[in-house]
Amino acid sequence: MAPATKKPPTKNPATKKKAAPGAQPSKAPASKAPPSKTYTAKAWGAGSATSKLAPLTIQRREPGPKDVQIEILWCGICHSDLHQVRDEWKEAMPTVYPCVPGHEIVGRVTKVGRDVKKVKEGDTAAVGCMVDSDRTCPSCRDGLEQFCEQMATFTYNGPDKHLGGVTYGGYSDSIVVDEHFVLRVPKKLDPASAAPLLCAGITTYSPLRHWKVGKGQKVGIVGLGGLGHMGVKIANALGARVVLFTTSPGKSADARRLGAHEVVVSKDAGAMLKQAASFDFILDTVSALHDLNAYLALLKRDGTLVQVGAPPQPVPISVFNLIFGRRSLAGSAIGGIRETQEMLDFCADHGFGADVEVIPVQKVNEAYDRLKKGDVKYRFVIDMASMK
Ligand code: NAP
Ligand code: ZN
């Protein structure tokens, strides 16, 4: 997704509004010859904030000594893809077009550079939201590449240090990534349902671990979408008592099946009141603007509300909800590479991936329309065989 940046986004070359070198709609003639040591990959992307996603060709670099080339087999559709493609985050992270989204990537290693140690040809491997960072700053040294002081390079719409222009994501038939940002996919995981773990999984696992959620705690998860359904599964696996807050009463039975001990329909004021001041921790995964004060009021003394959902608009907060009860409001961005591997292994050990609806790439625009309406159970995953 879109971790907050420490540098003004305007200094990020990727955010300048210009056409990205190395990519053009497949029907348009190339404006200049691609740089050497690249190859042409198939992809799907959007040419503007209002256009539908359509086939494109893009240039990928040939793998260097530390690079891994992956044939992409599965790619999840995150709500961040939709925010970015539609330029909904234009204030913080303007979109450079064409935009090829996708940061929940699982595939087969087809080539490795001579110095690569982490994976070998034929392995099932994964790529999440980042493909690079400075590797030397305190955050990178702590394994928190998402908070890199030079700003991590996101898998799409980030400045491409190798080819110029911006990076292109996983709605594509292949990708080339430095081995540091490649994850191993445990054999116990089904590869299609593992794909959403690369963003939805780690974005919920990381704060649940950071705030030490576990047995004896009452934990709320707000929103049962891609992130939320993983939050429910992981919080349950960590031993917490899990309460799911939803605007969709029809999701109650699924929420219980996924691991919620209780379901609260957040539009029901009486049901919300019954939960007042009873939570140790609440994780809010909602993609649209909504009232956070309603959730702050549900925290116990010293409880924490962590926001991972990223609505574009500023959120009004009543400070009294923080002052009384010494409550905290925090945010969290994806997770580092080491922790992402830990999360994949955790999910494999507990025997779950995401609940997915597999679609061919030709249905991606329909999937975006359904995502916008909250009509997904609970993550769309593109079967890249459909791109061939
Ligand atoms: P999603 O699958 O669309 O799920 C979002 C859920 O939020 C919906 O299913 C719905 O759940 C609820 N919701 C939607 N509109 C709502 C509204 N107006 N009021 C209240 N609830 C509403 O999205 P996702 O892929 O899980 O992503 C969720 C958000 O997290 C996005 O903003 C995304 O950009 C962000 N994100 C952040 C990070 C990070 O690092 N912090 C990483 C990935 C994604 P119910 O039907 O149950 O109410
Ligand atoms: Zn995401």
pLDDT of residue 327: 98
93 lines ligand 1 (CB under 6 A): no
Four-point Cα dihedral 229, 3, 314, 7, nearest 10: 180
For residue 235, report the distance from its CA to the centre of ligand 2, in Å. Answer: 19
Backbone angles phi, psi at 270, to 5 degrees: -65, -45
User: Is this prediction's pTM over 0.85?
Assistant: yes
For residue 261, report the distance from its CA to the centre of ligand 1, in Å. Answer: 21
Q: Measured between alpha carbons, how far is 239 from 258 in angstroms, rounded to an integer?
A: 14
223 lines ligand 1 (CB under 6 A): yes
Q: Measured between alpha carbons, how far is 384 from 362 in angstroms, rounded to an integer?
A: 10
Residue-wise pLDDT for 339-380, tens only, equals 999 999 999 999 999 999 999 999 999 999 999 999 999 999
Query: Which residues does 28 contact at the CB level (< 8 Å), separation at least 6?
Result: none
Contacts 24+ apart (CB under 8 A), 261-268: 261/236, 266/222, 266/294
3-state secondary structure of 96: coil
16 lines ligand 1 (CB under 6 A): no
Matching residue, tokens 């593992």: 194
334 lines ligand 1 (CB under 6 A): yes
pLDDT of residue 24: 38
Residue nearest to atom 21 of ligand 1 (CA): 286
**Which tokens hold the place of 55?**
């086939």
pLDDT of residue 199: 98
The counts of H helices and E strands in the chain are 11, 18
Q: Is 136 exposed, middle or buried (0-12, 13-18, 19+ CB in 10 A)?
A: exposed
Residue-wise pLDDT for 131-163, tens only, equals 999 999 999 999 999 999 999 999 999 999 999
Residue nearest to atom 25 of ligand 1 (CA): 79
10-residue mean pLDDT profile of the chain (388 residues): values are 38 38 36 66 98 98 97 98 97 96 98 98 98 98 98 97 97 98 98 98 98 98 98 98 98 98 98 98 98 98 98 95 97 98 98 98 98 95 97
Q: Measured between alpha carbons, how far is 319 from 88 in angstroms, rounded to an integer?
A: 27
Residue nearest to atom 17 of ligand 1 (CA): 288
Q: Are 215 and 240 in contact (CB under 8 A)?
A: yes
Residue nearest to atom 18 of ligand 1 (CA): 288
310 lines ligand 1 (CB under 6 A): yes
195 lines ligand 1 (CB under 6 A): no
Q: How far apart are the first and last CA of the chain?
A: 27
246 lines ligand 1 (CB under 6 A): yes
